[in-house]
Every structure is written in structure tokens, then in C-alpha cells.
């Protein structure tokens, strides 16, 4: 059985993951309209992945005797001036998600809820991968600079982005 403190903290993370899905969906939509087929494909996939992260939390809370809370979504506030700015925001967002996961891990230890602590280790590893991927992509964007041919190749490669770091699934 989950303590109320753990249940509340997990429900907060459910909202974080749901909001993340919406943020990536907004990024995907913008990229698609701008003609960035590869970037939009990547962002749509990221949106779905974040939704699955949320569902994993929902199921965990409910299976442990708690009640998962499903929150409404808010319109993401993004700077959509360029693909470079988009990916900088992606990294900043993933860092915030990592901080939220780390806070949750700390709460699970404070509450001596070792089952939840163990469950959350997957999220810790996943966030390491998410941040590493964002940094890797930003490094590629910085290499491209203002080269249109480089941008074309980058966008094309994003269709089949393969993580240089792989977290356990």
C-alpha cells in the first residue's frame, strides 16, 4: 500500500509526464508545419514515449493500492522561432523532468518505500538517456551551423534517430 505522501508525489509525476507528452506534441506539430519531416517524426515518437511513461506510473499507483490522478493538459508555452531553439528547450525540459524524478526518488527513500524506489530506477536511467540524447542532438546542430545542406541531412537523419545511449527498457 502506498503512503499518501508517495501517492501524491507519484501523481505529481504523472502530471509531469503527461505535460511532457503535450510539449513534444506541440514541438512535433510546429516542426511538421515548418517542413521538418525528420524532426517532426522524432518529436511525435517522443510524445508517445512520454505518454507511455505516464501510463506506467498510472498502472503502478493503481496496482499498489493507490488512486492515480489524471490531470488536464495545459497549452505548452514554447519559443518556436527555430529548430535550434526547439532543441535547447527540449534539453532544458528534460533536465527539469530529471529533477522531478530525483525529488521523487528522495521522497521514496524518506518514506522507506523501497518498492517505489526500485520502480523509479527505470525512470532515473531513462532520464540519463533523454538528457544525453538532447545534448548529442544539440552538438550535431552546433556542428551544422547555418549550413542548409547540413540541416537537410540532419532533418533526414532525425527520422530514424538512434540513441547513442540506451537505457534499460
pLDDT block averages, 10 residues each, the chain of length 169: 97 97 98 97 97 98 97 93 96 98 98 98 97 96 93 94 65
What pLDDT is recorded for position 144? 94
Is residue 129 a known part of a binding site? no
Is residue 127 a known part of a binding site? yes
What pLDDT is recorded for position 166? 58
Single pTM value for the model: 0.93
What pLDDT is recorded for position 107? 98
Is residue 94 a known part of a binding site? yes
The CATH code that applies to domain 4-158 is 1.20.1260.10
Largest CA distance in the chain: 56
Amino acid at each position: 500500500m502506498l503512503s499518501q505522501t508517495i501517492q501524491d508525489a507519484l501523481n505529481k509525476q504523472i502530471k509531469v509526464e503527461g505535460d511532457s507528452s503535450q510539449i513534444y506534441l506541440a514541438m512535433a506539430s510546429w516542426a511538421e508545419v515548418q517542413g521538418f519531416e525528420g524532426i517532426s517524426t522524432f518529436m511525435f515518437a517522443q510524445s508517445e514515449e512520454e505518454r507511455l511513461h505516464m501510463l506506467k506510473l498510472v498502472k503502478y499507483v493503481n496496482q499498489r493500492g493507490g488512486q492515480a490522478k489524471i490531470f488536464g493538459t495545459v497549452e505548452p508555452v514554447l519559443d518556436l522561432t527555430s529548430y535550434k531553439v526547439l532543441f535547447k528547450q527540449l534539453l532544458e525540459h528534460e533536465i527539469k523532468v530529471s529533477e522531478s524524478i530525483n525529488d521523487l526518488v528522495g521522497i521514496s527513500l524518506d518514506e522507506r518505500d523501497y518498492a517505489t524506489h526500485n520502480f523509479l530506477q527505470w525512470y532515473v536511467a531513462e532520464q540519463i538517456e533523454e538528457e544525453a540524447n538532447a545534448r548529442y542532438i544539440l552538438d550535431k546542430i552546433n556542428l551544422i551551423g547555418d549550413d542548409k545542406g547540413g540541416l537537410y541531412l540532419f532533418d533526414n537523419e532525425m527520422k530514424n534517430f538512434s540513441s547513442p545511449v540506451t537505457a534499460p527498457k
